Structure 1
Amino acid sequence: MCLGAGYALIAPAAEAKPTPGKAPAKAPAPKSVPAPGQATPDALAASLAPGSPAKDASPERAATLIRPHVANTGATARRLARSATGKAQAGCNVGDFASKTGPALIDQIKASETACVNTLFSVTGADARALFQESQMVTVANAYRDTAADYQGDNSSSITQLVLYLRAGYYVQYGDPDGVGEYGQALKTAIQGGLDAFFHSSHAYDVTEANGQTLSESVILIDSAMENARYLDVVKKLLSGYDSSYDKFYWMVNAVNSSYTVLFRGNWLPEFVDAVAADKSVLTLLRDFAVEHKDLIGTDKQFLTTNAGRELGRLVQHDKLREAVRPLAKELLDATALNDPATAALWVGVAEMMDFYDKENCDFFGTCDLQKRVREAVLPVKHTCGETLEIVAQKLNDEQLAESCKSMLGQDAFFHGVAKDTGPVKDDKNTKLEVVAFDSSLDYQTYAGVIFGIDTNNGGMYLEGDPAKEGNLPRFIAYRAEWSDKFEIWNLNHEYTHYLDGRFNMYGDFEENMKTPTVMWVEGFAEYINYGYRDIPNEKAIEEAGKNTYALSTLFDTTYQNTNTTRTYQWGYLAVRYLIQYHPDDVSALLGHYRNGDWEAARTLLTSTIGNRYDADFAAWLSKCSAGDCGGTAAAR
């Protein structure tokens, strides 16, 4: 699942955002299916929170390239998510950038909106080389340097667009180093000049929203360019400078949190480890930050405190730092407790690092049997719905348990009526499902990673395991929608559909299912059943229909590598709904191939037999659907 040597990647805002150190964000971890994004209106997004240990990291994965992101909550986060990752303004064209060099390129970048520059993270092929070959990147890095020399603490000079362009270049070059070309000393010198000029400017650390985005993006650029060691002092300044005055500015909080990414990826850069060994003050700074800001635990800024503890603990893996880190980590563990809601999140964060990187000393840290201890402490509720379904929960009462069971068990008949299956697929022994329900999105993000080894910057996760293995227990992990006026386990019916779809429609495990592009079906069908069974309209999808963004034949090619939240869920839903309503024979044939594990036959059906034959009719249906006539019922059937 690793995408190549050099970097791990983090997805754009509003996509399911994995935790640094887990599988690259362009795809979920093997045998897991993420729920629809970080879609909780008031849940912590923490897109840069380096949560879990780097269980699949390697020395080659030395830095993080991050696509545009959101790491905050509430109305501010929703506003910024739209501005950061929405469609670029009319007239935004890759060719306008690719056709220019020198001053003309700089003028084009500066004249564009940030939303337009963000679209460049997705370019491929000849455009990628034209945009991001080293000579182009050097030109932009030098412009960043020159612009930063007179930086006024806001984006009046369009400096943020320059930083985003540079970040996009590193991101795209990682994905296609042969196509884009290698980056060498010329770019390294230029990027250092740009970063030096910015961080030495008099307004670089202004505590304002106007400065915050440029500062945050520049901190991420440090890591994209693998200059973590050179700019360790930037990390120290942000951590030591943070106080409550930052909290009213989304981007300033984001800038502080971005400093943890510099620390996280620095673990795979020998020069960074040497820099920390030479200046161990960053270790005590992390300890002090966690202690001084324990009051953030339980709030939407919790990640700032827990990340300080995690990144301190993670440094214990290095021989040069181990003896210095151990007593500081022990201090944090002794000052917090798993059974204390006011400090548990910090305890868990530090404990998880020590359990992974210094497990043989668990007696010293008090972290032995960590996974079992956390699960028993946090998930005491156990309820059997029936022979095929069990709920494990943090706080659900009898009424809530009964309601959840009824919702899932009642979905079975609706699912089978749509899927028209004849029973489980061959070799599937997933006869029982465990549903895990945390009490809130914050609890999910605090505990699910250490208990189940998953990323938690998403709306939930279905873990299928190996369905052919006797005794395998699939589970989906979710949480109560604490922002809702009524009781609701977020994505309950979407996730339950993944279980049913895997058992009755898709041969083999999740990794097997992804051998060819099947995301349109896997996610679109989960959404179709989710909305259809509950008999409510998918308003977001209907709104998207009016934009006519994708041809049906394009959606056949959706993968976790080329998609975003809207394409995955809203457009997956629209495609599946259209096919089920108007081409049921094709759906039957497609599922016949999926159930037999004949992925190539399914692929041929979609791309050759059907091909673009339905594109025009799909477009016409989209127009009618956006106007309120989607066919079937007003909901999803």
Structure 2
Amino acid sequence: MSTARLLRLQQLARFLTLVMAIALTLGLFAPRGQAAPAAPAVPADRGAAPPSASVPPSVPDADAPQLRAYQDSDDGSAPAEAPAPSAEAFGPDTEADEAAACDPASFGRTGAALVRLVKASSLDCVNRQFQIPAEYAAAAFRQSQMLTIAEALQESARTYQGNDGDSISQLMLYLQAGYSVQWTKAETVGPYDELPTAIRDAVNAFFANPHALDPTPANAGPLERATVLADVPRRSDHYVGVVRKVLDAYQPETWDRANLLRAVNPVFQVLFRGYDTKNPDEREEFRKALLAEPGLLDALNGFILRARGHLLDTDRNNSLTLNNAIDELTRLASVEELAPRARAMVKNLVDTAGGITGPDWPQRASAAASIQKADRANCGYYGTCDDPQRFKDAYLPIRHTCSPTLRILAQDLTAAQLAAACASLNGQDALFHGVSRDKGPVADDRNAALEVVAFDSYVQYVPLGRAIFNTDTNNGGIYLEGDPSAAGNQARFLAYEEPAPGGGSQIRNLNHEYTHYLDARFNLWGGFGEGAPGKLVWWTEGLAEVVATSYLKEVNRAAIESAARHSYRLSELFDNDYGDQNRVYQWGYLAVRYMLERHRADVDALLAKWRVGDWKGSRAVTTAIGTGYDADFDRWLSGCAAGACANIPEFPQFKACEDGDTRRLDRNCVRTGVSATAGNYAHFYLLVPPGTKQLRVTSSGGTGNADLYYHWGGWAYTDSYVTRSAGPDNAETLTVTDPPAGYVFFSLRAERDFKGVTVTSEF
């Protein structure tokens, strides 16, 4: 997966609120006055005795969505700017009144009136404009508005006194908000072709001011926003000098007391962006800018050596800062002219860390991870080629098997915590399959077994997850699907412990990430990223929120608050991409919940396309919907905000089959842990009520190969059946239309030994 670096800088402190509870278990009872029929006289079993089935009780666990990569739009088209509305459209007559009201319409004022308004607004008010309703976006953030604010910022930067007396933070934050809105509403807001130069001039004016790097608390906010703003236009070649200035200025004794370290992290994003740009001309300009700042290498190395004593502590932001700094130093080894000195500096960090379990092991882990990503061919020079396995052996000693298809690797989990995690994961399947209505794994998906990796804490997860699994950990957990069609591929997700609300600790991210695994296996053909043409982000993250929090019985207060703001139309959410967290998670939840409640047939049509990898076809479905549901979605949002989203919607789900006879199936129920040896059978029967239109039995998961047989007159065998499903693994489905009332029979026949199989019946 690509690196979620923008999130690292701007939204690390953000804890995502869990979403709303929506679980409904369907109880099956005989009508009053009608006796349930007796069990059938079952014939003698010619094969192995049926296995016992055990379904652990579900244990609620906390969850938070994974943060994935921010991806740029490749669309270079530039729509015309929207005309400026008249001043009469913008509410109160005084800037003070407008600032107090924080009315998004007010930001349609122009010139000096706009500047006065932004300066008079609170930071909270300006921050809310990141979610400005679509109808006000062009008026507030078209290029002429942004140029006005950039010019005002340049003027304020020249006279900056080391504090926020001239509301310089509001001006910087407004420019960030405008870029954020323009990235997601480019057709509405219009192009920013002149703006990068104006922002460069303003940022350079700030750093030319002698107070820009004052090591004082009053300077913390403005300095951080200035370094973030240096990344916003995505022209890293303009800001290499700024990066060097900030790194050279850092002194732990004074900067840490003033809370200025947070202003350092964004400069690493500036460097990363220079390598990451898709524009070859800009990449070459960035290379030239690096060579024009010969002190940059020393600035990076000097920062690490001065700061590492503080960065190796238990603060989560500091852990990321150490990773980011070493990443960028290692990446400079890709520049031929800088490579020898850059490599020598990184090797020194490896050698002075004290080994895999030494006192400064996070430094070694960060360096090893950076080398894997940026200079792997030279791992022998650094002595880190075997570090992934060495760190894994040293820091993940616990290996716990939940089932044949689920195991946990952990750093420090108790037996009770392991049992609770297994039960929570196993118990979630029923709800997922009830919402998904899938018919087993998608074609070519071999991810039948999942590995859950649980680190002891976030500060352990950050360096160790990178060093062991070569993935980004600037997030709340991550699912690594790999290539599901490849033999030997291991699906896994990484998580970590955090304090539990009632005391003790719990695995963060457990159920959200598990939903990603189930969704990828049963709903989405191919590996992560292959579905990008289908624009799946609204679904994948929204579904993970809906399913995980339904299971955990949590209300998504943040989503309810978002619904009240009416920030997005449904048609916009269908184009979601990773970036703005509120849009991805809260609005993804709202979009998926709305579609499941109001337009289930459309969801089923999309799923049918996604399950076969027809991304063009799925886009045709959302394109056909177009703006047709926008008005109804807006009304639904009003109801959601008014309390409807605090209620429990009725989504069907599967439950464990309750009868003590492990051969008996029932309506919407699941038997787990089914097994048989080669040539033998696992038999099942169920009672079909009169008038049943369709009956479906599905097998999935586990190991080996079982084929599914159906018969209505007695046990089903290879020489006595009506229909069968005989694939190469355990993913089998039989659908019977208009089945006869009374008892019918299904059997799993072991083509090879199988175990750990799940059997689901629904009608």
Structure-1-length-normalised TM-score: 0.74
Matched positions, count: 560
Deviation at 1:588, TM superposition (A): 4.5
Give deviations 1:443-483, integer Å, cap 9, x for gaps. 22112223333322221111223333444332222112246
Secondary structure of the corresponding residue to residue 296 of structure 1: coil
Cα distance in 2 for partners of 1:174, 1:588 equals: 30
Tell me which amino acid in the other structure corresponds to 1:238. Answer: A
Cα distance in 2 for partners of 1:600, 1:427 equals: 22
Q: Does 1:114 align with 2:123?
A: yes
Counterparts of 1:17-416 in structure 2 under 5 Å? 36-37=64-65, 90-93=101-104, 96-97=106-107, 100-101=110-111, 103-118=112-127, 131=141, 133=143, 139-167=148-176, 179-183=190-194, 188=197, 194-223=202-231, 224=233, 226=236, 227-239=238-250, 241-243=251-253, 245-247=254-256, 249-250=258-259, 252-265=260-273, 269-277=286-294, 281-290=298-307, 292-293=309-310, 296=313, 301-340=318-357, 342-416=359-433
Secondary structure of the corresponding residue to residue 534 of structure 2: coil
- CA change 1:623–1:242 in 2 (3 A) is same
Secondary structure of the corresponding residue to residue 391 of structure 1: strand
Deviation at 1:213, TM superposition (A): 1.0
Q: Does 1:515 align with 2:533?
A: yes
Q: Does 1:566 align with 2:582?
A: yes
Contact 1:494 1:527 in 2 (8 A): yes
- CA change 1:196–1:421 in 2 (3 A) is closer
Deviation at 1:605, TM superposition (A): 6.9
Give deviations 1:159-186, integer Å, cap 9, x for gaps. 11222344456667888699525349xx
Tell me which amino acid in the other structure corresponds to 1:465. Answer: G
Contact 1:283 1:325 in 2 (8 A): no
Contact 1:330 1:365 in 2 (8 A): yes
Deviation at 1:157, TM superposition (A): 0.8
Cα distance in 1 for partners of 2:183, 2:174 equals: 14
Contact 1:555 1:572 in 2 (8 A): no
Unaligned runs of 5+ in 1: 18-34, 40-46, 58-87
Give deviations 1:228-254, integer Å, cap 9, x for gaps. 233355224432x232x544554x221
Q: Does 1:490 align with 2:499?
A: no
Q: Percent identity, aligned pairs only?
A: 36
Cα distance in 1 for partners of 2:486, 2:589 equals: 31
- CA change 1:427–1:320 in 2 (3 A) is closer
Give deviations 1:102-127, integer Å, cap 9, x for gaps. x3443343233334444666789996
Cα distance in 2 for partners of 1:548, 1:130 equals: 17
Deviation at 1:212, TM superposition (A): 0.9
Cα distance in 2 for partners of 1:16, 1:510 equals: 26
Deviation at 1:581, TM superposition (A): 5.1
Contact 2:312 2:363 in 1 (8 A): no
Cα distance in 2 for partners of 1:264, 1:588 equals: 40
Contact 1:520 1:555 in 2 (8 A): no
Task: Find the partner of 1:532 among 513, 527, 550.
Answer: 550
Contact 2:123 2:170 in 1 (8 A): yes
Secondary structure of the corresponding residue to residue 212 of structure 1: helix
Deviation at 1:393, TM superposition (A): 2.2
Tell me which amino acid in the other structure corresponds to 1:619. Answer: S
Contact 2:248 2:303 in 1 (8 A): no
Contact 1:336 1:343 in 2 (8 A): yes
Counterparts of 1:409-428 in structure 2 under 5 Å? 409-428=426-445
Task: Find the partner of 1:620 among 636, 639, 661.
Answer: 639
Which stretch has the larger CA shift, 123-132 or 435-444?
Answer: 123-132
Deviation at 1:338, TM superposition (A): 4.5
Secondary structure of the corresponding residue to residue 515 of structure 1: helix
Tell me which amino acid in the other structure corresponds to 2:342. Answer: V
Tell me which amino acid in the other structure corresponds to 1:211. Answer: N
Question: Quick check: which one's helix share is greater?
Answer: 1
Contact 1:516 1:603 in 2 (8 A): no
Contact 2:535 2:619 in 1 (8 A): no
Cα distance in 2 for partners of 1:209, 1:552 equals: 41
Secondary structure of the corresponding residue to residue 559 of structure 1: coil
CA RMSD of aligned residues (A): 4.3
Deviation at 1:546, TM superposition (A): 6.7
- CA change 1:157–1:541 in 2 (3 A) is closer
Tell me which amino acid in the other structure corresponds to 2:403. Answer: G
Unaligned runs of 5+ in 2: 15-62, 73-98, 276-282, 656-763
Give deviations 1:504-526, integer Å, cap 9, x for gaps. 23334333444334434322322
Deviation at 1:336, TM superposition (A): 0.6
- CA change 1:120–1:545 in 2 (3 A) is closer
Cα distance in 1 for partners of 2:163, 2:192 equals: 33
